[in-house]
Amino acid sequence: MSDYGHDLVFGSFVTPSNGDPDRTVGVAVLSEQVGLDLVTFQDHPYQPAFLDTWTLLSFVAARTSRVHLAANVTNLPLRPPAVLARSVASLDLLSGGRVGLGLGAGAFWDAIEAMGGRRLTPGQGVRALEEAIEVIRQLWDAETRGGVRVDGEFYRVVGAKRGPAPAHAVPIWLGAYKPRMLQLTGRRADGWLPSLSYLEAGDLAKGNAIIDDAAQRAGRSPQDVRRLLNISGQFSPVGRGPLNGPAEQWVRELTELALGEGVSAFILGSDDPDDLRRFAGEVAPAVRELVAAERERGVAPQRTPDADRAAEPEPEAKPEPEAKPEPVAAAPVRASRASVTGGAFAVVPTPDDGVRRSDQQVWDESARPTGPVPDPERTYTPHEQATGAHLVQVHDGLRAELAQIHDLIEQVAAGEIDAGAARSHINTMTMRQNRWTLGVYCESYCRIVTTHHTIEDQSLFPRLRARDPRLGPVVDRLEQEHHVIHDVLEGVDQALVAYVGSPDGLAELREAVNLLTDSLLSHLSYEERELVEPLARLGIA
Q: How many independent structural domains does the chain possess?
A: 2
Please indicate, yes or no, whether residues 306 and 385 belong to a single structural domain of this protein. Answer: no
In a domain, 204, yes or no: yes
Please indicate, yes or no, whether residues 375 and 488 belong to a single structural domain of this protein. Answer: yes
Query: Helix (H) and strand (E) counts for the chain?
Result: 17, 13
Q: Rank 59-73, 291-305, 407-421, 460-474 by mean pLDDT and report only the highest.
A: 59-73
Give start and end residues of each alpha helix (H) in 456-505.
461-467, 472-501
* Cα end-to-end distance, the chain, whole Å: 29
Please indicate, yes or no, whether residues 205 and 77 belong to a single structural domain of this protein. Answer: yes
The gap from C-alpha 449 to its chain's centroid, in whole angstroms, comes to 18
Question: The domain spanning residue 296 has which CATH number?
Answer: 3.20.20.30
What is the C-alpha separation between 191 and 187, in angstroms, rounded?
A: 11
| Parent domain of 369 | 365-537
Please indicate, yes or no, whether residues 37 and 176 belong to a single structural domain of this protein. Answer: yes
- The continuous run of DSSP H or E covering 78 comes out as none
What is the C-alpha separation between 150 and 159, in angstroms, rounded?
A: 9
**Cis peptide, bond prior to residue 332, ω within 30 of zero:** no
Q: What is the per-residue pLDDT for 421? A: 36
With cut-offs at 50, 70 and 90, classify the pLDDT of residue 415. Answer: low
> Which pTM does this prediction carry?
0.60
- The continuous run of DSSP H or E covering 12 comes out as strand 9-14
pLDDT digits (tens, 9 = 90+) for 92-150: 999 999 999 999 998 889 999 999 999 999 999 999 999 999 999 999 999 999 999 99
Question: The domain spanning residue 448 has which CATH number?
Answer: 1.20.120.520
Does residue 238 carry a pLDDT above 60? yes
DSSP state string for 291-348: HHHHHHHSPPPPPPTTHHHHTS------SSSPPPP---S-PPPPP-S----SBS----
The residue from 310, 340, 375 where one domain ends is: 310
* 126, 132, 142, 172 from 103: Cα distances, Å: 11, 9, 21, 7
Please indicate, yes or no, whether residues 92 and 179 belong to a single structural domain of this protein. Answer: yes
In a domain, 527, yes or no: yes
Q: What is the per-residue pLDDT for 117? A: 94
